[in-house]
Amino acid sequence: MATLLLRLAAPLQSWGADSKFETRKTNREPTKSGVIGLLAAALGLRRDDAAGLARLNGLHFAVRADREGSLLVDFHTANRLSERQQKENREKGKKPEAPYVTYRHYLQDAVFLVGLESEDTALLQELETALKYPVYPLYLGRRSCPPTLPLCLGIRAGKLLDTLRAEPLLVKQRNGAPLHIVADADPADAAAVPRRDLAVSFSPIHRQYGFRPVREWNTNPPEMPGATEHDAMAELR
């Protein structure tokens, strides 16, 4: 058994799983569907590649929140009509239409450690290479949220949860509080709860998502020699 580790960090991230109409929310941690989408983009999979998606969904998934970040709500407006249509309406003396308003939620300065476990080491190696040389641009939930580097931390020998608990911290802890872990669970586990973030299809015509059982843990932070404060804007300087 082996585990591929990813570092998901950026000034902004957004992992939508329950977004309706004008309010586009974000989960407090990366969704499995969002991370699978990132892997699919790195591999260059088509949106309707059901076999490729099923292969990725077979990976056991877990995320450790090294820094949960803070919530940002962006008030966003957009015109419903094109510039030409607006000009024609003005010439006809019509009242301008009200702009379309949305509220988009983001996580600021968050840092997550994601683990993907499989017995298929060749698949993990393929994903590791694809993340370093992606076919399509990669982003953390939305196109406006590109990741900072390093994104891929490599492959570790060992089980998923053991690896996440042992991996050194990615950022210096501000208060020494226990780390929060969310992971795929056995459906028979009494502590498991359903979460609707399993990608069934990324087709732009009809996106589909299913449920997966997850379980949450709190774990003591591992040691991190030489820990430093995370600077989300470092790569822009």
Angle at 28 between CA 176 and CA 136, to 5 degrees: 115
Asked whether the predicted pLDDT for residue 124 surpasses 70, the reply is yes
pTM here? 0.85
Asked whether the predicted pLDDT for residue 186 surpasses 90, the reply is yes
Asked whether the predicted pLDDT for residue 229 surpasses 70, the reply is no
Could you tell me if 30 and 15 are in contact, meaning their C-beta atoms sit under 8 angstroms apart? yes
Whole-number pLDDT of residue 16: 84
Residues of the chain above pLDDT 70, percent: 89
All structural domains of the chain: 2-71+108-236 (3.30.70.2660)
> What does the DSSP 8-state code read for residue 52?
H
Q: pLDDT tens, 4-56? A: 999 999 999 999 866 666 788 899 999 999 999 999 999 999 988 989 999 99
Whole-number pLDDT of residue 40: 97
Could you tell me if 1 and 117 are in contact, meaning their C-beta atoms sit under 8 angstroms apart? yes
Q: Which residue has the higher pLDDT, 51 or 85?
A: 51
Question: According to DSSP H, which parts of the chain are helical?
Answer: 32-43, 50-57, 83-91, 121-132, 160-166
Q: What is the mean pLDDT of residues 194-213?
A: 88
What tokens does 200 get? 């069934």
